[in-house]
Amino acid sequence: MDFLPIFLSIKEKSCVVIGGGDVATRKIASLLRAGGKVTVIAPQLSASNQKLADNGKIEHHAREYKDADLDNATLVIAATDDESTNAEIAKHAQEQGIPVNVIDNPENGSFIMPSIIDRSPVIAAVSTGGASPVLARLIRTRLESLIPAGYGRLAELCGLYRDNVKQLFSDPKDRRRFWDTILQGGVAERVFTGHMEEADAAMQKALETADPNPGMGEVYLVGGGPGDPDLLTFRALRCMQQADVVVYDRLVAKPVLDMTRCDAERIYVGKERDNHAMRQEEINKLLARLAKEGKRVVRLKGGDPFIFGRGGEEIDTLAEEGIPFQVIPGITAASGCASYSGIPLTHRDYAQSVTFVTGHLKDNSMNLNWQQLAQPHQTVVFYMGLKGLPVISRELQKHGRSPDTPAALVQQGTTHMQRVFTGTLETIVEIVEREQPKPPTLIIVGEVVELHDKLSWYKAPESSEQGATS
């Protein structure tokens, strides 16, 4: 983050705006809405600002700026049409430790003014760090439709009962769970439809019937997809936002992990070849223990939890111990990486079937059915096969697959680090030695790889044309 988002109380505080033209108008309006006492220093005012002065809403000094104008100021806006004057104001303000915003030159100031969605007491703010105020306003406009006015009334109702809930639930975790139910249930719906008396009655009933000791928690086995957070399902995101604890793998992309609730406890249990942060049996027991403590636990996995994700082993333990659980599927790496690489896994002219294979078994062997995998007119996708690629290449050729069979490596597919390397069974090992792709890298073998050059549509933002090799 380039800026720390904060909400500053300026009620009855002195706010100084230097400049009275149209560019200052929106800033002055925002300061007044937040309760600030606004003083404007400018030889002349725009028509709208002059009206505010005439009505006593702002104090106006019709002259040029002086350093003494910042004495006792809580906040400063530099909004003149002269860059050097604005820079001087900003320097003086920062020397005195006063927050200052510089119009059209945010880098010269200490804070920026975001676009605001006002549903008081609910306030949402959007900023692009000064890079594109127009984009910030566009995002705000879209959010306006997603945050109805009823959220302000709902916040006010919650404020009335906040102390009651705190007295009933001593544990913050239990309070959060109660509020989650209220804010997504009948009380909220009554508020949104304007039935405030019914909402109040429903709130009182919820408090009367609430169990301050909820007991057993629940485990959500969530597929985090191959890396792009936009590929998460709505249900996955909802569960991630409800979790008290997030137990996550090495293959979970950081942008996906960042979409979990910020105050949730995070426990890393990632496994690399011959380097396990926690053994699978220990992970199974950890999930059960956390749920028995009454916590809502998200077990977050890359891809889909039931495709080489050991999800079956984990819920087997949960079922044995009588712990409630849900499974939320995710887009598996084969599907996501192939799609983002422009490689259809099946195609009427190339492949009528697709097979997913793990590159190493539980004992790290590669005792696979090579005869079946070498059959023509099919696509074979190898997970976790980068280290064993020489064996894969050799065995497929040994069992009848042509050395000219197209093959592709997709490194960190669907993310900004995606790179695609294409070759053949005969050349793919040499490509790995030359390019040194990093895991996670998916291996796709079959004639469909020929379509990559024609159908490739996704360009990773930080990649370059050298990412594709043939």
Do residues 100 and 157 both lie within one domain? no
Domain boundary (331, 355, 387) is at: 331
Same domain, 171 and 295: no
Asked whether residue 205 falls in the same domain as residue 224, the answer is no
Q: What is the dihedral of CA 304, 310, 316, 318, to 10 degrees?
A: -70
pLDDT at 27 (0 to 100): 93
By percentage, how much of the chain surpasses pLDDT 70? Answer: 96
Quick check: is 140 in a domain? Answer: no
Active-site hit among 271, 285, 292, 387: 271
Q: What is the pLDDT of residue 273?
A: 60
**What pLDDT, on a 0 to 100 scale, did the predictor assign at position 40?**
97
CA distance 157 to 161: 7
Cis peptide before 440 (omega within 30 of 0): yes
Q: What residues of the chain score a pLDDT lower than 70?
A: 272-276, 360-365, 462-470
Known binding residue 461? Answer is: no
342 a known binding residue?
Answer: no
| 22 in a known ligand binding site | yes
Catalytic (active site) residue 200 = no
136, part of any domain: no
Helical (H) or strand (E) element with 22: helix 22-33
Whole-model pTM: value is 0.74
On whether residue 133 sits in a domain, the answer given is no
The catalytically annotated residue of 228, 249, 295, 301 is 249
Residue 268, domain CATH: 3.40.1010.10
Which of 43, 105, 35, 104 lies closest to 74, judged by CA? Answer: 35
Query: Would you call 274 a catalytic residue per the annotation?
Result: no
Q: Is residue 374 part of a domain?
A: yes
Give residue 172's pLDDT.
Answer: 86
Residue with tokens 């889909």: 304
Q: Which of helix, strand or coil describes residue 107?
A: helix
Sheet holding 325-328, edge to edge: 265-268, 245-248, 296-301, 218-223, 325-328
* CATH number reported for the structural domain that contains residue 381 in this entry: 3.30.950.10
Range of the domain at 63: 14-113
Is 302 within any annotated ligand binding site? yes
Does 251 share its domain with 318?
yes
Asked if 272 and 356 sit in the same domain, the reply is no
Residue ending a domain, among 315, 331, 347, is 331
Q: Is 384 within any annotated ligand binding site?
A: yes
Residue 61 resides in a domain = yes
pLDDT of residue 10: 96
Q: How many domains does the chain have?
A: 4
Sign of CA dihedral 292, 297, 301, 307: positive
Contacts of 249 (CB under 8 A, 6+ apart): 269, 270, 271, 300, 301, 302
